[in-house]
Structure 1
């Protein structure tokens, strides 16, 4: 049983309660303790003797392309759900780097995925609204497995995907030149998806290592 107390420990240190309780006969929570959350560190340009920064803040942000959309996610199947979940997680650093949300909004069910999805999006919106952006943070999928469809008292025909992920280190670059560093980390995640109107929608995401 995946309980309502499930928690997603985000790569950027966000800890969120899961909104969905889904019965999985073949899946049980891991007994492994969750990896410690990486603490961000802030740096800025060193002042000169006159008190002015030695480096001028720059707005020369790198161009970032969205992750490639897998062909496998164009159909309803376990393989399609796995491909969609991997694509969704690769969109996570992309929205922080680019400030573009078209692909993210197309796959996220904002009415259901109110925790990790909403917080990730608002964090990226705030970063770019202040003139900032992120660099780094690429996602590597170490392993992936999935199952479904499962029925729940709240949602029918849910597919569950388990991912082992490796995030590269990243930095949030602020408009004043301040940089906030995040160490690379490995995370275990579960993503819940449904097939609606011939496409996948993410309804929840959480760290199954932290389930209670």
Structure 2
């Protein structure tokens, strides 16, 4: 399996925390693997650009709910606009989606619904920051890459999204699982 396939698998696993050991992949004929029509881009809530606790929570939800879109389309423009420079998860997820699409790979399904459970203020320099704790429900998905089809089961995870205010909007600093 090439680097891009492994990276795409890691991204899906991080988001869905699926245990892929029980899943099986199967080869497909390249003629059968044409991507479905692109899903609509998630709508950016206007109030997510407010320097408030609610704005931070909306930004975290929007960020997580963009993942299926970027994996289905490779379009990372909006993703990058809310990804902080030092966010490893942001970079890996965005570049993984782009790399997969450059190789005609894509993901079908995997819709995400994120619900804020709590928000805590963080101290990170002079700008306000928050950790938004989300329950993230991910629908089952299928990954198509390098002639291989791999089912990914549905999952529910608790995800922490750390955000900082960047003057005109929220920037994601880090993403990780929490229990």
TM-score tier, shorter chain, comes to 0.7 to 0.9
Q: Which residue of 1 aligns with 2:145?
A: 174
Q: Which residue of 2 aligns with 1:113?
A: 87
Q: Residues 56-112 of structure 1, C-alpha deviation per residue, up to 9 Å, x if partnerless?
A: 324243222111111220211000000000000011111100100110010001x21
SS of the aligned residue for 2:44 comes to: coil
List runs of 5+ in structure 1 lacking aligned partners.
1-9, 16-34, 46-52
Q: Which residue of 1 aligns with 2:101?
A: 128
Matched pairs, number: 168
SS of the aligned residue for 1:69 comes to: coil
Q: Residues 127-151 of structure 1, C-alpha deviation per residue, up to 9 Å, x if partnerless?
A: 1111111110101124432132x32
Give the direction of change, closer, same or farther, for the CA distance of 1:175–1:61 in structure 2 (3 Å limit). Answer: farther
Task: After TM superposition, give the deviation of residue 43 of structure 1 in Å.
Answer: 1.9
Give the direction of change, closer, same or farther, for the CA distance of 1:169–1:159 in structure 2 (3 Å limit). Answer: same
Structure 1 stretches of 4+ moved >4 Å: none
List runs of 5+ in structure 2 lacking aligned partners.
1-9
Task: After TM superposition, give the deviation of residue 187 of structure 1 in Å.
Answer: 0.7
Show the 5 A alignment for 1:77-116: 77-109=52-84, 111-114=85-88, 116=89
Q: Which residue of 2 aligns with 1:12?
A: 12
- CA RMSD of the aligned region, Å? 2.4
Name the TM-score, length of structure 1 as normaliser.
Answer: 0.71
Name the TM-score, length of structure 2 as normaliser.
Answer: 0.83
Supply the distance in 2 between the matched residues of 1:142 and 1:87 (Cα, whole angstroms).
10
Supply the distance in 1 between the matched residues of 2:67 and 2:38 (Cα, whole angstroms).
16
In terms of fraction of residues, the more helix-rich structure is 2
Q: Residues 148-204 of structure 1, C-alpha deviation per residue, up to 9 Å, x if partnerless?
A: 2x324x67522110001100011112363x211111110101111111121111011
Structure number with greater CO (CA < 8 Å, separation at least 6) is: 1
- Which among 135, 150, 168 is matched to residue 164 of structure 1? 135
- Which among 107, 110, 120 is matched to residue 137 of structure 1? 110
Q: Which residue of 1 aligns with 2:4?
A: none
SS of the aligned residue for 1:198 comes to: coil
Larger Rg, first or second structure (1 or 2)? 1
